[in-house]
Amino acid sequence: MAASMSSTAGMSNMLQFMKLIGQLKRVPRTGWVYREVNQPESVSDHMYRMAVMSLTITDPTVDKGRCIRLALVHDMAECIVGDIAPMDNVSKAEKHRREEEAMRNLTGLLQEGLKQEIYGLWEEYETQSSPEARLVKQFDLLEMILQAHEYEQLEGTPGRLQEFFDSTDGRFHHPDVLQLVSSLNEERREHMINADRTKHSGKSQTPSTESAEPHPPSHTS
């Protein structure tokens, strides 16, 4: 009976954990909200593509599976504290304190082994204490600027989100990531050039007022 009750309580806690994680699908990424992006992505959207980036890594010196797990865990605390962005004027120490408390509460719903694994992954990412954590941090930044580029394309506003690109200067180091960033920057440059070309082409093809006016009807005597 005691084992049955313990199992029931464990599943109830797991259900609560899953419901909290589900909140990530409804937490918008704050940076896009502040920049008034239409229908901004959720934290869950961001984490998913980071996990896919981790899945596609070809570097044999890093643990691909660990990278995927780090990507899935790194922003988990935001299901409780929300996405705290630099423009929120919350210090790094206070942000860490809030997220640490949230992760303790969140993983406290899990059995000991799983609790230690998930909290340990979050802590590893926070402290950037492994090659995998440092690579996943670069994926975090890469995913952000890729999303910024996509928003510029969707809005037809090339260059509007330049500040997000500027914030990543000098922060990419892994060869695979650098190649992706180079490809992204080249595509973005082409997008901006084409948009500028279209804009000037449209101006040059505007019909003159004289040719656009209808001729008055002729009068017969």
Q: Are 28 and 84 in contact (CB under 8 A)?
A: no
Could you give the angle at which helices 64-73 and 131-155 cross, rounded to 10 degrees? 60
3-state secondary structure of 42: strand
Task: Provide the pLDDT confidence category of residue 195 given band limits of 50, 70 and 90.
Answer: confident
Phi, psi torsion values for 28, nearest 5 degrees? -75, 150
3-state secondary structure of 111: coil
Instruction: Give the mean model confidence (pLDDT) for residues 160-169.
Output: 97
What does the alpha-carbon distance between residue 164 and residue 172 come to, in Å, rounded to a whole number? 14
pLDDT value of residue 198: 80
The pTM (predicted TM-score) of the whole model is 0.86
| 199 or 51, which is more confident | 51
Burial class (CB in 10 A: 0-12, 13-18, 19+), 203: exposed
DSSP state of 54: H
Task: Provide the pLDDT confidence category of residue 196 given band limits of 50, 70 and 90.
Answer: confident
pLDDT of 151 strictly over 60: yes
Q: What tokens appear for 37 in the block?
A: 């992006």
Q: For residue 41, count other CB atoms closer than 10 A to its CB.
A: 17
Q: Tens digit of pLDDT for each residue in 96-134?
A: 999 999 999 999 999 999 999 999 999 999 999 999 999
pLDDT of 3 strictly over 90: no
Average pLDDT, the chain: 91
pLDDT of 11 strictly over 50: yes
pLDDT value of residue 173: 98
Q: What percent of the chain has pLDDT over 90?
A: 82
pLDDT value of residue 107: 98
pLDDT of 218 strictly over 50: no
What does the alpha-carbon distance between residue 195 and residue 5 come to, in Å, rounded to a whole number? 64
